[in-house]
Structures are given as structure tokens and as C-alpha cells.
Amino acid sequence: MAAVVAELGAMGGCDVVAARTGELLLLVTETDTQAADRALRARIEGLEGVRGLLLTFGDIDPDTEDPDPLASGVKANSPSPEARRP
Amino acid sequence: MSPLDRRVFVKRLAMASAAGAAAALVPDAAFGDELSRYLDDVRDLDWRKTPCRFCGVGCGLLVGIEEGRAVAVRGDPESPVNRGLACVKGYHSVQALYGRDRLTRALVRRNGRLVEVSMGEALDLVATRLRETMEDYGKDSVAIYGSGQWTIPDGYVASKLFKGCLGTNNVEANARLCMASAVTGFTTSFGLDEPMGCYEDIDHADVFVLWGNNMAEMHPVLFSRMLERRRQAPRGMIIDLATRTTRTSYAADRSLLFTPQSDLAIANAICHEIVAKGWVNRDFVRRHVSFKRGRTGIGYGLEDSFRFDDQAVDATWDDYVRFLDNYTPEAAAEVSGVPAADIRWLASLYADPARKVMSLWCMGMNQHTRGTWINNLVYNIHLLVGKIATPGNSPFSLTGQPSACGTVREVGTLTHKLPRGVVANEADRRFAAEIWGVPYERIDPVPTYHTVDMFRALDRGDIRFMWIQVTNPMVTMPHLNRYRAGAEKEGRFLVVSDVYPTPTTDVADVILPAAMWFEQEGLFGNSERRTQHFAQHVDPPGEAMSDTWQLIEVARRLGFQEQFPWSFETHVEDIWREYTRFHDTPAHRMAPIEELKARPGVIWPFVDGRETRWRYNTEHDPAADRAYGTHDFYGKPDHRAWIWLRPYEPPPEVPDDEYPFWLNTGRVLEHWHTGSMTRRVPTLHRAVPNAYVEINRTDAQELGVRNRDRVRLVTRRGALELEARIDYRAQPPRGQVFVPFFDEDLLINELTLDAYCPISKQPDYKKCAVRVERLRT
């Protein structure tokens, strides 16, 4: 447990609060891009001693990411997408 | 809030969410002062309770309000449903209120273009066209189509206006597409709808048999509770009985794959084995069970002219045993592909007197051309061994929507239903007319159209005016090409109340902006008969208005002020008090509004201040008579549950040389139904941005398809190009493909078949025949 906390602390972008009992820790990560998020998650999953991750909250900053998911969607089969934007 | 402040705030919010989840999952975990510094800011928010609106589980949430805006969510630790936990949709749920293209003004189509008008002008137009259509084409030319996401007041006023005031039974809801077979399963087996047990059964059961139910993705909070129970129970076990391998299969102790539709044969074979081995609880069967035979060879509802009524004929124990002769485990193995030894093993689990057993299901059994039958057959198993309506022994039908039970099933927003009873029953009509303040003769005794028929009637022109609220049928209807073309025909007038533009608003003549979730006061009813009240916590944007109030405004414009007299300030409470007069019996009494406001939901029947966790159990249910012994199945005239002799019958369309694969459709964890809300949440959208087709690895190799190649799916009804995914989050067996339906840009329902269960009228989205074509890149 202590080793995992130490390794997470050394990664950067990770805030860790470990439970006093049991093998449980709360982890908040912060990255600048989606790619960095994926890379960080892969590193965490690869740590020896990490048996599982449960995502409870995620947030994408609207100032740095496109907040309108449908704007990038494929519209191939949409019946009349232009009518969708009154 | 400055960018820096926001980042700090969001990190603290994230830590608070994680702490809440940890407390729910590992109650013994203790954290030191280090955690406090993350939580202080979050504690300062104004936290208010609401049930989640993104599935039928009914998790209690606490929503953090700041300056009139919902900015945070955490699971409500006081909710007995989720005990502080939430799923990924729940944790992101409030962001769905704030999509950039939220509908805030009414729109009316003029010369082919949608133009903004005031809400008052739009409601005037709706009332005028409704009246004119009835004058020109008759009362049954107008219809309303709602949803299991309607609040209870929404559904109640819709039913009162259309059935009571306008005199048409053209009232349906999308729960017909997801829960109708569960309803008819309950009513044919027990005489009354909705489960006899509750979620607490999970904490008592030893064995969980999941019938075509991917709980890990569809009901993740209940799935977590089940995993925890398995960890604690000495003989805890989860069996995943399904047509494809999913995240649920990976977590299960055993995964058994069966050929689509053969669950009918498997269930009968389990009963065959229980009888053959002498494992029947003879005392229970003798005291509490009757045997019935229904019609067979009942068709699939593919023709517009299709009509079917079942007929129960008395049968005997000996008849039942002879019927089961056709369902030896070996015979069922032949049909299903599940080895006979595994069927025998399943039977031994159900029959083991030392184990309590839950069966759980949802769309896999309900979206089925024999959906009523398979519901009956799973009840048969529990009835034969007497494992029913006691803590931990529970056949449990899960729902998909937050108020499919509370609104559609309990209020009765289906063509044949009234808030109490059915339109065909004179006493029920008189009772409703008295409460509604309308002439008894106004309520038509003849049901009109179930959902598929309603859209067929729109296509034919028998229905000319349709009001659609909080649902998206231009994504969800099977055989969608026909029904979209019908909706777009000349002479049809569609009103759509919704929160975002969708393919259904695309075909609307009037779009009414709706208040969403806790932008209004309301009530939902979840899978375990729990009614939950929520207050209005934030204002709706622009001129958006609750569906309830939209209906009241139109009703008054049509001259029904007397029937809809309520003030805006108190209308939800007033409606609740009127509605609950329909359920003022020990079998279905609802909690007063004051109790609902004070508690995290109340399970009905609520009698003398107590919830009823196990119906029909004479120790728990105030409506059950102890003179009948341990159980009183009072929904049936003979006070017995009915075991039905229901055979295996094949589906209407099976793979062949031209269309060699099964097509299965469904949902994914991250998206709610058609994605119109969850696709506006950036985190959820990015997790699963578009629909895809899951293909078995060996099938893909034979087709020359690699992961992420584009393929074309072709059925007799349409074609669709999709990205192929191999060994992705789930794996279909050889000969089957799976496509999620959340993506409005990739409409898989253009390919599905509009066959339905002739008893429940619920379509089967889980099986039709499809061809997979590799596309050259």
C-alpha cells in the first residue's frame, strides 16, 4: 500500500488519500489533455499492487475541450441534422 | 468562479465523490484529517436530495447547488437503494442539464422552417390543432405518447386529459417497449403488477441467476450490492445466463450462453428436472398454486391487422407433468446449446433447500416475442420450489427507466389501463370518472392502440395528431424507416416536448421546451415499488416548462378548467392527493406527500406507517390473509399463483443463408437510452462517442474484418455502416452481432424487426436476421 502511494505521488498529477485501514485509496488525477489522461491511467493500471480502479467522477474543462459532443459527431444517417439547430 | 478556483473546486468535488463511493463500498474504511481539506469547500454547497433519473434503480442523489445552478453530485448515504454509491451516469448526471443546445423557446414549423414563438402562442396552437383534429377526424384521431421518464404527475394529467376529458384511449408510453412483458408476466401469474420483493432481497440471497441481464452495465449500483453479498455469503454465487459475454459474465461464477429465444426451453427444462428429481415443494404447490394453459401458435404481430387475446384454461398437475415431458434437459440442450448437465445443475441450485435464490432480468426477457411466456416460466421455477416472496427468495424484474413503474404501470398510461384497473371494467371506469369529475360515459371501454399499433395508425392516417413527451421514438421504434416516414406524411401534426433537439423534434410541427428533472417538482417510482419525491432545486432555462404544466395549460384552453383547477405553486401536491385516491387500499396504499418529502422514498403498500417489503407474504403484507397460510396470492380470484404451461416457440425471423447472423441491440453503461442527454456530457460522450458493432473474433476473421474496420449491416428492412469492434467491452458468440442504440447518427432501429409479444405487445429488439458485409477501405 505504502509503495503504491509513493509511486502515485511520484507520477505527478495525482492527489492521493489512503485509508488508515484496509487496502483502499482515493485518487484524484489532473491532466492537461485527454491523451495525457489515457497515458496516466495506463501507468496507474500497470502499477504492481493496483488491483482495481473505480471511476466515480470525471470532468472536462470547457475552456480547454470542446463542450459540445454532438458538434463532432458523424451525421451520416441523421434524418435532417440541420433542422436540429434552431 | 475563476479558472483556478474552478480547478481546485472540481478536484475537491472529485475527492468528495470518491470518498462517498468508498464509504458505500467499504463501510469500515477510515480516512484521516487529510481528507478534510478536500471536503471543506464541498460541504459548503447547498446539498439537496433527488432520485437519479438515468435508470430504473432509483438511486438517491444529493445535488450540490451554487448560485441557482447544479454544480455537484454525490450518492445519498441515507438512501437505502444505493447507500451513498452512484454509477458513472449518476456522478455526471447534472451536467446533462447544461448542454449548449438546450431547448429554451417554443418552436413552430412554418413553411418547412422552425421559428421561435412564445410559449403561450405555441400552447394555443397545440390546443387549437387538437380540437380541430378531433372535430374533423373523431376523438381517436389524437394521441399522446409519453414515457417511463414522465414524472407521476406528468402521466396522471396526461391520462386524465386524454382518457377522462377527451374520451380517447390513445394513451401510450415508451415503457411498452421495455416493461410491458414484465407487466403481463406479473398479471397473468399473480393478478397484480410489480415485484413481490425489494432490493433488500439481494442482502439475503445466496444464488443470483441473471436471465439475459447485463447488470454490470445496466444496473451497476445493484450489481455492486450483489457482488458484496456474494463476497459475504458463504455459498454466494452469480450465474450469468445470457446470449453474449458481457462485463457481467466476467464477474459471474458461471457464464452460460444460450441460443436466442431458447430461454423458454431452458426454463421448462429446469422445471422438468425439479419434478423428475422430486424437488417440488409439494405443500407450497398444493396450497398456493393453480395450473393454467393458454393459447399456442400465437403469432408475432407483424401485420397491421393482427389481433390476439389469450385465454386461460384450467389444467392439472398431471397435465403439467405431461407438458414437461417435452423439455428434458437433453431436449433443451439441443435447442439452447446449454449442456444438459448445466441445466440440471441450475435446477439443483433453485431446489437446494439451503440456498436462497434470486432471479433477475430486464430487457433480455421482456423484449422478446414470447416475453410474457418467459416471465411466466421463471415464476414457475420459483413457485415449484416455493422460493418466492420471502427475504432472499425473489424473482425480480428490474426496470430500465426512473418511473416506468411509478408512472406508466401505477398511473396506467397505457391504452387499456386506468390509474386503478382497466378501461374495459365498468366499475373501474365509474371510479375514475368520479375522481376525475367527468361523465362516466366519457371514458371509452375499448382500448385502442398499443405503441407499435399507434405508430402504424399514424402511418395509415388513422391518427392525425400526436403529442410526444420526454421520449425519442424516432430513434427507438423498431423498423424505424416505416414509422419515421409515417410521421413525416402530409396531414400529420406532431407536438414534441423535450429538453434537446432530437430526431423526433426533427419531425415535429411544434416543439415545446421542457423542464428537466429537478427543474420541476415531481415524483418517480422505481423497480422495488419505492416512490420518491423531489423538489424543484433550480429554475428551468428560458420558457421551458414541466410536461405536467404544459398539459394543464392545454387542458384549460380546451375548456377543462374544472378538472385541472390547481395553482402552479401547489399543483404537484394537489395532483398527488387526487391520484392516491385511486390506490387507497391495503394492497396498494401510497404514502402521503409529507412522508415522501421527509424520507428517501417509501415502498408501497404503505399501511399504518409501514412499508411492505414482501407482498403476498402473510407476515409482511397487510393485504394478505393469514387464513391462506404463509402466502396469499390475493391478486387472483382463487388466491393462488398460476403456473402456466407455456411452450418453446421459435422467433419470427432466424438467420439463414442470406442473413446469416443474429442481430442483438441494447444499451451501454455510459449512455442513457437514445443519448440525447448523456451525449451532451463531455466525459460520457468521449467514453463512447458513437455506436459500433461487436463481432465475434472468429466470425471477423472469416469475414476478413479487423478491429475498427467499417462494415455494413443489412437486414430485410435497412442497412447501416458501423465500425467493427472485436474483443471490446463484450463479445457475442459466433453467429451473433451486437449494436447499441444510443447513437442518433447511426440508427440501428432502421434494421430491427417490429415483431412483438402478442400478449404484452412489447417488441423484440434482441433478435432478427442480419448480414455483415466488409467494406473496402
Chain segment B454-506, per-residue pLDDT in tens: 999 999 999 999 999 999 999 999 999 999 999 999 999 999 999 999 999 99
- Residues 344-373 of chain B with CB under 8 A from chain A are none
CA B681-B746-B468 angle, 5° bins: 70
Nearest residue, CB atoms, B683 vs list A60, A75, A80: A60
Chain A nearest-CA residue for B502: A84
B363 is catalytic: yes
pLDDT at B133 over 60: yes
Q: Above pLDDT 90, what percent of chain B?
A: 90
Q: What percent of chain B has pLDDT over 70?
A: 98
Is B26 close to A19, i.e. CB distance below 8 A? yes
What ipTM describes this predicted complex? 0.79
Please give the distance of CA B80 from its chain centroid, rounded to a whole number.
21
Nearest CA in chain A to B12: A28
Chain A residues near any Cβ of chain B (below 8 Å)? 15, 17-22, 24, 26-28, 30, 34, 54-63, 65-70, 72-80, 83-86
The pLDDT assigned to A77 comes to 36
Identify whether B277 is a catalytic site residue. no
Q: Give how far B29 is from chain A: nearest CA, Å.
A: 6
Alpha-carbon distances, residue B100 vs B72, B515, B682 (angstroms):
18, 15, 11
Residue B372 and residue B760: Cα distance in Å, rounded? 6
Beta strand extents in B557-619 (DSSP E only): 602-603
Residues in chain B with CB shorter than 8 Å from the CB of A70 are 101, 679-680
Interface contact A26-B484, CB threshold 8 A: no
Does B251 contact chain A (CB < 8 Å)? no
Q: What's residue B72's pLDDT? A: 87
Residue B178 designated active-site: yes
Look at residue B715 in the predicted model and tell me its pLDDT.
98
Sign of CA dihedral B675, B679, B680, B681: positive
Per the confidence metrics, is the pTM higher than 0.90? yes
Strands B313-315 and B237-242, bridge-based pairing? unpaired
d(CA B366, CA B369): 8
Contact A69/B689, CB-based, under 8 Å?
A: yes
CB pairs under 8 A between A and B: 139
Confidence band of A78 (pLDDT split at 50, 70, 90): very low
pLDDT band at B729 (very low <50, low <70, confident <90, very high): confident
Residues of A in contact with B506 (CB under 8 A): 79-80, 83-84
Torsion of CA B483, B485, B486, B489, to 10 degrees: 160
Question: What pLDDT, on the 0 to 100 scale, is given for residue A64?
Answer: 52
Does the active-site annotation cover B49? no
How far, in Å, are B41, B544, B590 from residue B45 at the CA level? 7, 26, 33
**Which residue from A minimizes the CA distance to B104?**
A86
pLDDT over 60 (residue A68): no
Half-sphere exposure of A85 (CA within 13 A, CB side): 7
Task: Output B10 or B275, whichever has higher pLDDT.
Answer: B275
**With 90 as the cut, is the pLDDT of residue B306 above it?**
yes
pLDDT band, residue A1 (cuts 50/70/90):
confident
The answer to whether B56 is a known catalytic residue is: no
Average pLDDT over residues B359-376: 98
Respond yes or no: is residue B735 known to be catalytic: no
| Catalytic residue selected from B20, B55, B64, B89 | B89
Nearest Cα of chain A lies from the Cα of B17 at a distance, in angstroms, of 6
Which amino acid does the sequence have at B94?
A: V
CB within 8 Å of B152: residues ≥ 6 apart: B403, B406, B407, B410, B411, B522, B523, B524, B525, B531, B575, B576, B579
pLDDT-wise least confident of A43-47, B3-7, B191-195, B330-334: B3-7
| Chain A residues near residue B101 by CB distance under 8 angstroms | 68, 70, 84-85
Q: How far apart are CA B197 and CA B528, in angstroms?
A: 7
Other beta carbons less than 10 A from residue B65's beta carbon: 17
Q: Using the predicted structure, report yes or no on whether residue A86 has a pLDDT greater than 50.
A: no
Instruction: Give per-residue pLDDT as tens, B155-196.
Output: 999 999 999 999 999 999 999 999 999 999 999 999 999 999
Strand-pair category, B710-714 with B142-146: unpaired
On whether the CB atoms of residues B747 and B480 are closer than 8 A, the answer is yes
Mutate which of A57, A60, A61, A72 to disrupt the B interface (most B C-beta within 10 Å)? A57
Contact B13 A57 (CB under 8 A): yes
Work out the minimum CA distance from A23 to partner chain B, whole angstroms: 9
Sheet of B522-525, strand order = B522-525, B530-534, B602-603
Closest CA of chain B from A50, distance in Å:
16
Which residue of the set B55, B59, B218, B363 is catalytic? B363
pLDDT at B777: 65
Predicted pLDDT of residue B582 = 98
Closest residue, chain A, to B71 (C-alpha): A59
What crossing angle do the helices spanning A34-46 and A2-11 adopt, rounded to 10°?
A: 160
Query: B-chain residues within 8 Å CB-CB of A57?
Result: 13-14, 17-18, 91-92
pLDDT at A69: 44
Looking at the partner chain, which of B30, B474, B682 has a beta carbon nearest the beta carbon of A60? B682
Distance CA(B535)–CA(B537), nearest Å, equals 6
The per-residue pLDDT for A61 is 63
Q: State the catalytic residue, choosing from B95, B149, B367, B401.
A: B401
Q: Give the separation between CA B130 and CA B136, rounded to whole angstroms.
A: 10
Interface test with B, best of A14, A26, A63 (most B CBs within 10 A): A26
Query: How far does Cα B36 stand from its chain's mean position?
Result: 40
Collect all residues of chain B within an 8 Å Cβ-Cβ radius of residue A68.
Answer: 99-101, 680
pLDDT score for A20 = 80
Mean pLDDT over B746-755 rounds to 98
**Cell numbers given for B460:** 395509415
Inform me whether the pLDDT recorded for B3 exceeds 50: no
Q: What one-letter code names the amino acid at B351?
A: A
Q: What is the pLDDT of residue B23?
A: 73
Task: Give A15-65 pLDDT, tens digit per residue.
Answer: 888 888 778 888 999 888 877 887 888 888 888 888 777 777 777 665 555
Q: What is the DSSP letter of B775?
A: P
- For residue B593, the distance in angstroms to the closest alpha carbon of chain A comes to 32
Residue B658: count of CB within 10 angstroms of its CB: 9
- Determine how many CB atoms are found less than 10 A away from the CB of residue B113: 10
Return mean pLDDT, chain B.
95
Residue A81's pLDDT is: 37
Using the predicted structure, report yes or no on whether residue B65 has a pLDDT greater than 80. yes
Task: Give the residue-averaged pLDDT of B34-62.
Answer: 87
Q: Nearest by CB to B26, which of A24, A67, A74?
A: A24
Substitution target in B9, B17, B37, B221 with the highest count of A β-carbons within 10 Å is B17
The minimum CA-CA distance between B180 and chain A, rounded to whole Å, is: 29
pLDDT at B431: 98
Name residues 689-708 of chain B within 8 A of A (Cβ). 689-690
Q: How far is CA B347 from its chain centroid? A: 28
- Interface check B675 vs A, CB under 8 A: no
Minimal C-alpha gap between B502 and chain A (Å): 7
Say which of B92, B506, B686 has its CB closest to residue A79. B506
pLDDT category at A70 given cuts 50, 70, 90 is very low
Looking at the complex, report in whole angstroms how far the Cα of residue B428 sits from the nearest Cα belonging to chain A. 43
Contact B744 A78 (CB under 8 A): yes
Phi then psi for residue B417, to 5 deg, are: -105, 160
**Cα–Cα dist B285/B585, whole Å:** 28
**Exposed e or buried b for every residue in B343-378, given b needs 16+ CB within 10 A?**
bbbbbebbbbeebbbbbbbbbbbbbbbbbbbbbbbb
* Record: contact B18-A22, CB cut-off 8 A: no
The CA angle B434-B437-B438, to the nearest 5 degrees, is 95
Nearest C-alpha neighbor of B691 from the set B731, B729, B748, B736: B748
Say whether pLDDT at B357 is over 70: yes
The CA distance from B766 to B664, in Å, is: 4
Contact A76 B721 (CB under 8 A): yes
Q: B341: alpha, beta or left, given left = phi > 0 and alpha = psi -120 to 50?
A: alpha
- State the smallest CA–CA distance between residue A24 and chain B in angstroms: 8
Taking an 8 Å cut-off on Cβ atoms, the answer to whether B92 and A58 are in contact is yes
- Residue B686 and residue A57: Cβ atoms within 8 Å? no
Mean pLDDT over B76-99 rounds to 92
The answer to whether B245 touches B217, Cβ cutoff 8 Å, is: no
What would the pLDDT profile of B188-210 be if each residue is shown by its tens digit?
999 999 999 999 999 999 999 99
Instruction: Assess whether pLDDT exceeds 90 at residue B45.
Output: no
- Chain A residues in contact with B99 (beta carbon < 8 A): 68
Q: What is the pLDDT of residue B184?
A: 98
Structure confidence by residue, pLDDT tens digits, B245-282: 999 999 999 999 999 999 999 999 999 999 999 999 99
**Looking at the predicted structure, is the pLDDT value of residue A67 above 80?**
no
pLDDT confidence of residue B29:
74
Query: Given this model, what pLDDT does residue B321 score?
Result: 98
Distances (CA, A) of B163 to B131, B166, B172, B358, B581: 15, 6, 11, 38, 17
Q: A58, B3: Cβ pair inside 8 Å?
A: no
Q: What is the pLDDT of residue B700?
A: 98
